[in-house]
Amino acid sequence: MKDESLGKKALKGGFYLSLRRAVSAVLGIVGALVVTNIVGPSAYGLFNASLVVVSQLQSFTLSGVKVYLVRESEEQFEQAAHLAFWWYFFISLLLMAVGSGVVYFLSHVWIRTPGFLSVCIVLLTLIFLSSMELVPRASLERQLDYKHTSLIDVGTLIASYFVTVPMALLGYGVWALVAGGLFMQCLKTIAFFAVTRYRPRWCWDKSLFSEMLRYGLTYSSSIWLYNLRELVSPLVLMPLAGEAATGYYALVKRFLTFLNFARESASSISIPLIAKIRDDFKRLSQAVNKGMDLQVLVLTLTYSAFALLSPAILPLLYRERWDIGQVAVIFPFVAGGILINSLFNIPASALYALKVLRLITLYNFLHTSLFLISALLLVPRFGLLGVGLAEIPALLPYLLIVWEYRRNIGSLDYRRALLWTGAGLMLMLAPVVSWWLIVGGVGLFLSPFSLRFLKAYYQDIRPLLPSFLRGRYTRQKMTGGSS
């Protein structure tokens, strides 16, 4: 009975989590269309560049501490929760103080964009506000109570538009975005405390605190290095190409966040499987290859559709103040970088499950360094396009993943994934280079080799189709295919 109850909670939690992602993605894209149309690319770029700086500072609060709370035993959870709360309380205040000095230095030495300092100083309060929600959120997540977390996340996102949109219409520009973000985070933090009725209490346990921070540091360290690539917006693009170019890049990233909902769904299928079979290298290799193929296939379809349709649709949705053609130019390169990353991120997850952490850390360091250095060299010459071109040399460290995977687990079958990646890249580049590339992309995707595996994948997912479709298929099979 206990297992059945746990299974039902897990199923319900997964449903609400998927629903939250889908609704948040739709609301995010609708909000991007409405708000960005009003404020324009410069204000949107300034806000997002400032938010990246604040987010990088916030990463030092160690998000892994919240993960530690979620996995902590019931006996020690209450004490660990209090310790985590006071850690987040003091470290967030310290980071706000340190961050003020950092952004003051940047605004006088490198990023001399008007408004950058004042926007960053105000947004630094998000470090404290968002840190305060983590302990009560962890309390809900450990119970698989994604219903309340989803309602809070979606509800506060909707509420924020009631602040952002009116202020934007009144001409407040970037400050409309700042006010909406602060309002949403305040509501979110209050809601989590209200739902969980969590009340912090002072306590101290040195060994438990040390264990919690060690786990948080281990969990967060490799993620830090990869996420540093996001600094390309405030440190490279905005100083060298301006706020408007930063706004176009941020808009492309927003569209990709929406499109990557499918990628998260594919990951949720493959990653838990890897964790369960990591000691069986033969089955692990099969799962990695299939998960890699699935991710590449999903992204090829979604990214290609967006790239081909956006030149016709986006000009109808955006006003004259947006030169929306720049989105079509930069999208294939940024999306192409993510598509190629999908050839390697599931093998990297398998290495992570085997605790090959040093190699993953080295890869993240080299990838981020090459990307930022390349952007620094290319943006002065090519402008916004330079960020897209910087994705190309940043691909080289992926070879480390392949080498280490072959050494520890086995070979990778890239035949299908490379074919679909090539098709996706050709289709995405067609609006920018030549529409004739569509012929090549469709030809690769519909080649006999590709169709054979597409049919096999369809057979794998057929049991997941709605029952009326399965019933129709069964009846046709029983009657010899006649209808």
DSSP string for 37-80: HHHHHHHHHHHHHHHHHHHHHHGGG-THHHHHHHHS-HHHHHHH
The residue among 295, 273, 272 whose CA lies nearest residue 284 is 273
Give the range among 9-18, 87-96, 362-371, 387-396 with minimum mean pLDDT. 9-18
Distance of alpha carbon 425 from alpha carbon 441, whole angstroms: 8
Two tokens, residue 93: 């205040």
431: helix, coil or strand? Answer: coil
- At 371 the pLDDT is 93
Distance of alpha carbon 87 from alpha carbon 306, whole angstroms: 43
Residues 6+ apart with CB under 8 A from 100: 121, 124
Cβ pair 450, 415 in contact under 8 A: no
Specify the number of domains making up the chain: 2
217, 244, 271 - which closes a domain = 244
State yes or no: pLDDT of 481 exceeds 60. Answer: no
What pLDDT band is residue 483 in, cutting at 50, 70 and 90? very low
Q: Are residues 233 and 270 in the same domain?
A: no
State yes or no: pLDDT of 131 exceeds 90. Answer: yes
The residue among 221, 209, 133, 122 whose CA lies nearest residue 172 is 122
Cβ pair 375, 241 in contact under 8 A: no
State yes or no: pLDDT of 404 exceeds 70. Answer: yes
Q: Average pLDDT, stretch 326-353?
A: 84
Crossing angle of helices 134-141 and 174-196, rounded to 10°: 50
Q: Could you identify the residue written with the tokens 């309340």?
A: 148
Give the range among 128-132, 425-429, 465-469, 479-483 with minimum mean pLDDT. 479-483
The residue among 100, 77, 98, 96 whose CA lies nearest residue 88 is 96
Distance of CA 16 to the CA centre of its chain: 19
Cβ pair 373, 230 in contact under 8 A: no
Q: Average pLDDT, stretch 264-271?
A: 49
- At 436 the pLDDT is 92
Is pLDDT larger for residue 222 or for residue 471? 222
Domain assignment present for residue 250? The answer is: no
Q: 133 phi and psi, to 5 degrees?
A: -85, -15
- At 163 the pLDDT is 93
Q: Are residues 200 and 228 in the same domain?
A: yes
Cβ pair 135, 85 in contact under 8 A: yes
Q: Are residues 240 and 264 in the same domain?
A: no
244, 277, 303 - which closes a domain = 244
What pLDDT band is residue 85 in, cutting at 50, 70 and 90? very high
What pLDDT band is residue 222 in, cutting at 50, 70 and 90? low
Mean pLDDT for the chain? 82
- At 355 the pLDDT is 63
Give the range among 17-26, 54-63, 100-109, 149-158 with minimum mean pLDDT. 17-26
Q: Are residues 221 and 306 in the same domain?
A: no
Q: Are residues 81 and 181 in the same domain?
A: yes
Q: Are residues 158 and 227 in the same domain?
A: yes
Residues 6+ apart with CB under 8 A from 431: 307, 308, 310, 311, 328, 332
Cβ pair 406, 414 in contact under 8 A: no
Domain extent, residue 104, equals 1-244
- At 269 the pLDDT is 44
Q: Are residues 412 and 387 in the same domain?
A: yes
Highest mean pLDDT of the ranges 143-152, 394-403, 435-444: 435-444
State yes or no: pLDDT of 253 exceeds 70. Answer: yes
Two tokens, residue 442: 């469709």
